[in-house]
Amino acid sequence: MHQSEAAEIILVEDNDYDAELTMRALRQGQITRRIRRLTNGQEALDYLFPSDTVSKIDDCPTSSLVLLDLKLPLVSGLEVLRAIKHDGRTKTMPVVVLTSSTEDQDINACYRLGVNSYIVKPVQFRSFMEAVQQLGLYWMSLNKFPMR
């Protein structure tokens, strides 16, 4: 089985339009069939770190990639990133921030917290689609994920 067939992309994006474009680009590029969209930071934390006794994170494939927006309702993307990179179960999970923020403070904060990549969303439709396809191709086809 090809790595991208088993892989899951966890898309944390509150903007419906951006989420739909991202999922469309990934599907058009045949990057992966498994995309889970979460709409806010609390939903992401609940999915990755459930409070029940059966941990969903143990069910996540080791080849999960998180595409994370920074400006999220309820819990910020920075807080989600901090939680992912400071928990032993998820700290090696790659996280790519995909955001409209070009602020140096956001970029620096993400890298201090351990983000794997920081990408500013292109404004133009075609550029956005190409950027998402290229990032998906790299992370899901070329990159090698660590074993848990």
Q: pLDDT higher for 126 or 19?
A: 19
CATH code, domain with 85: 3.40.50.2300
Q: Which amino acid is at 105?
A: Q
Q: What is the mean pLDDT of residues 82-101?
A: 93
Is residue 148, in this structure, part of any structural domain at all?
Answer: no
**CB atoms closer than 10 angstroms to residue 144:** 7
Q: Which amino acid is at 82?
A: R
* Closest alpha carbon to 69 in 92, 96, 51: 96
Residue 52: band (very low, low, confident or very high) from pLDDT cuts 50, 70, 90:
low
Domain count along the chain? 1
C-alpha of 112 from chain center: 17
Q: What are the beta bridge partners of residue 117? A: 96
Range of the domain at 91: 3-142
Q: pLDDT higher for 122 or 74?
A: 74
Are 91 and 85 contacting, i.e. CB atoms less than 8 angstroms apart? Answer: yes
Q: pLDDT higher for 109 or 142?
A: 109
Is residue 15, in this structure, part of any structural domain at all?
Answer: yes
What is the reported pTM? 0.84
Is residue 97, in this structure, part of any structural domain at all?
Answer: yes
Is residue 52, in this structure, part of any structural domain at all?
Answer: yes
Is residue 94, in this structure, part of any structural domain at all?
Answer: yes
Are 46 and 78 contacting, i.e. CB atoms less than 8 angstroms apart? Answer: no
Is residue 88, in this structure, part of any structural domain at all?
Answer: yes
* Closest alpha carbon to 114 in 140, 101, 98, 95: 95
Is residue 49, in this structure, part of any structural domain at all?
Answer: yes
Is residue 147, in this structure, part of any structural domain at all?
Answer: no
